[in-house]
Structure 1
Amino acid sequence: MEYKILLIDDDKELLKMLRSYFEFKNYIVMTTNSAIDSEIMLAQKPDIILLDINMPVMDGITYCRMIRDKVSCPIIFLTAKVEEQDKINGLLSGGDDYIMKPFSLKELEARIIAHLKREERHNNSSKFRFSNGLSIDYSTKIIQINGLTIGFTKAEYDIIEFLSTNAGQVFDKERIYEKIYGYDATGDSRGITELVRRIRRKIAVYTDQECIETAWGIGYRWRK
């Protein structure tokens, strides 16, 4: 299967290098140096998006927020920023991972492969219903409560899927982060706390039953 990669970065030389590398690896590569010019490419339904954070006109985080509800594929940020809050903002905007510039092409490809394989596993999953009226279709990534669909970002959904398929089992933030972003991810697991808070807030609109419980001092578990 040929995967489609959408590369968005204002560094034309970097785009040229990445296109050459991934086309050699038999990926279908689409590139643009402006986020606002990517609408036609999004219509081609890329399997993964590599998105630079620092771009003129529209930065990567703003763009990610704008398209996150329109695309379900993984989004990996390419960034030279190192502040913790920048990383958290990226994840909370709907990004699934990030890699610091300069980076190794082999490491970047490994991250991409990990996300693509995770997507394939998710697509092969089935539907499950919980007693509080909540249902998760793991093949389509649609979550409903009493027939009403709730919108989640990719990272939020991945947390829900991981915890719900291991209902009753407690996982600390580091384990959840590793499962969602990969064992070689270099991010901060504290972003998981913010993502869980957002998940709870969205679910609370439809039901007063809490799905994700906090095991104080340990981590989180999906309520059986």
Structure 2
Amino acid sequence: MNMGYWRTISSSEKKDLMDEITMNFEIDMKDSKLANYINRLYNGRYRVFKVELSAYYKLQKTHENALANPPLEMLDRGVNQWVDLCNHLNSNKFKKASSSNIVNRSKKYNHRTGSRPFSYIVEKMVEDGLKFSEVNTFEFAYSGNNKCWTWNAAKAQHDEMFVKEHEYLIERAKEQQLPEDIPLEEMPIDDLHAEINIMMPVLGTKPGRRILGLGGGHL
């Protein structure tokens, strides 16, 4: 619990958790879609657990009182993990992020997708071979086929994510030492967290949902 978010946990630690699953279930982790799905499940459960612990922390009224009274769920995980989590919840960085998310949650997103669930649109984007399927879903949801945005703030957020996409692809191309004549759109993406890391700083998060503005049913 010394990591604030699932995405910040090291790949080796995540692999250990994934290996535990394969010991009990016949799961082919080489299947990228399946691995991505399981990663999302872990992300969701980790987030919910942290929310529950955060609520307990707040009930203790003070940071010192929280440190002195760890919840039962943390007793078998070691005192250090609870101390690390308390320090994270008491940090200025976390408090700033929480304040930002409160502001983001107050925003209203009027989309153009009708009754179709966002998960359906994301899957369609993946089938069409789009690398950043959820960013493309955001664009489609709030601008439609005619690219007429429902509000200017959504367009500004999409433009910011588009810039982040481009910067990410350029950086990845340098890391992989790819030939300069290879188009960025043809570059393979093997980082399961790339899109999340692009979207979350721009859109923020919402309780029960991973990313604000993408509905409650996206993958």
TM-score after normalising by structure 2: 0.27
User: Per residue, is there more helix in 1 or in 2?
Assistant: 2
State which structure, 1 or 2, has the greater radius of gyration over its C-alpha atoms.
2
User: Per residue, is there more strand in 1 or in 2?
Assistant: 1
